[in-house]
Amino acid sequence: MRKTILLVLACITYVSSFSQVTYKEISSSRLSSERKLKIKLPKDYDSNGEEKYPVIVVFDGDYLFEPVAGQVDFQTYFDNMPSSIVVGVMQGENRFYDAYFDPVTGLPTESGLRFHDFVSEELLPYIDDNYKTSRFRIAVAHDQMGNFINSYLFKKELDFQAYVCISPDFTGSLNNFISKRLSLFKDDIFYYMATSEKDIPQVRQHILTTDAQLKDVDNHNVTYYFDDFENETHYTLVTAAISSSFEKIFDIYNPLREKELEEKVLPYEGTLDRYLTDRYDRIEKLFGIKKEISEDEIEKVAQIAEQREDLKSLTKLGDLANKLHPESLLGTYYLAQSAEGFGKTKKAKKLYESALTLNDVSHINREYIFSKIDELTVVDLDEEIEDEDDGEE
């Protein structure tokens, strides 16, 4: 029964997702023809709003667009990646000419170079002029076009900040120069590549050779990911690779997970509010998206502060929570906790009392706050009695 319900929901999601796809034609002077596009805007897209969206350009949009758009819908639903504009370039019978390359260098030439320039000089400006785009773009391609998109790495001004090369059919000597090119970048670049144990043998061998070279790239601006799938063929690996690539490229966009809390937050040198703000500044820098720090994430980091017995971080997190979520009791609660930890019982009591006038937080028990107020009231009375006894002596 449960499987049936999930299947129905998946079908509904699929149908509603692709009912939002629009088909456009763009006239190209470079190609001396018109080229068809599939464009899918995010469900929350607002042409009058301030939010901007990353752009995912899908080469071989005839067959690759739907898997990419479906995965984007799935991952944005769970907030694992930002809402994005998906653009599929229909290539059809032009594919051979679009991917035309120099057999020695592997770089596009003649009709391939014209298609390369069409994307850079006509398609991308068209998308930017007509939609609310951020500065972050991803190129997704498979097979021959998976080789083709590497040519954009050799431009002086990069058109794409992330490259998803799914079982690329490397030709000529191009794959031998990718690692050298990536070692030179001074801006953030994401590069993903995938193959499988049942991939086309010659294609797989070139990919594995390239992978060995890319793993030796020493450049902190380059983030490289590689997947070698089991029991998948040159074609069936596509869906798994799309899912994995987006999950990895947008890893920092994801809500804080247990692994990051243990490996990065717990040993962080400095107050933990800084870890959070730096993390979200990096999201904005990378993707051109301003994402708000949630109460849930502040709570997770505050638990680490408590584990570290780090009262200074707890105070800073309280201030941050009050700044970002002033109607919530969260920040005042943490300030009360830190004041109590520092032995400032009167201040802590007042802060706990103030917290009760603010909006609830699901994971904080108001009965517990009342008990803390009663406990600190007793402490205050005891301190007053001690002060009186000291005065009599």
pLDDT tens for 30-71 read 999 999 999 999 998 998 988 999 999 999 999 999 999 999
What would the pLDDT profile of 221-239 be if each residue is shown by its tens digit?
Answer: 999 999 999 999 999 999 9
258-392 under CATH 1.25.40.10, yes or no: yes
Share of the chain above pLDDT 70, in %: 91
Q: Could you give the 3-state DSSP secondary structure of residue 134?
A: strand
- Rounded to an integer, the average pLDDT of 333-346 is 94
- Rounded to an integer, the average pLDDT of 92-118 is 95
**Confidence bin at 380 (pLDDT 50/70/90):** low
In this predicted structure, the answer to whether residue 359 has a pLDDT above a threshold of 70 is yes
**Confidence bin at 283 (pLDDT 50/70/90):** very high
Share of the chain above pLDDT 90, in %: 83
Q: Do 308 and 302 form a contact (C-beta atoms < 8 A)?
A: no
In this predicted structure, the answer to whether residue 209 has a pLDDT above a threshold of 70 is yes
**The pTM is what?**
0.86
Can you give the pLDDT at residue 364?
Answer: 87
Q: Could you give the 3-state DSSP secondary structure of residue 196?
A: strand
| Tokens representing residue 177 in the block | 């120069």
In this predicted structure, the answer to whether residue 307 has a pLDDT above a threshold of 90 is yes
Beta bridge partners of 229: 196
Query: Assign residue 89 a region: left if phi > 0, alpha if psi is -120 to 50, beta otherwise?
Result: beta
In this predicted structure, the answer to whether residue 155 has a pLDDT above a threshold of 80 is yes
Percent of residues in the chain assigned helix, strand, coil, to nearest 5: 55, 15, 30
Kindly report the average pLDDT of the chain as a whole number: 91
Can you give the pLDDT at residue 378?
Answer: 74
Beta bridge partners of 166: 142, 194
Q: Do domains 2-253 and 258-392 have the same CATH topology?
A: no
In this predicted structure, the answer to whether residue 383 has a pLDDT above a threshold of 60 is no
Domain residue ranges of the chain, discontinuous segments joined by +: 2-253, 258-392
In whole angstroms, give the CA distance from residue 371 to residue 288. Answer: 45
In whole angstroms, give the CA distance from residue 353 to residue 365. Answer: 14
- Rounded to an integer, the average pLDDT of 185-210 is 97
Can you give the pLDDT at residue 249?
Answer: 97
What would the pLDDT profile of 134-150 be if each residue is shown by its tens digit?
Answer: 999 999 999 999 999 99
Which residues have C-beta within 8 Å of that of residue 307, sequence separation ≥ 6?
A: 266
2-253 under CATH 3.40.50.1820, yes or no: yes
In terms of pLDDT, which residue wins out, 363 or 93?
A: 93
**What is the longest distance spanned by two Cα atoms in the chain?**
101
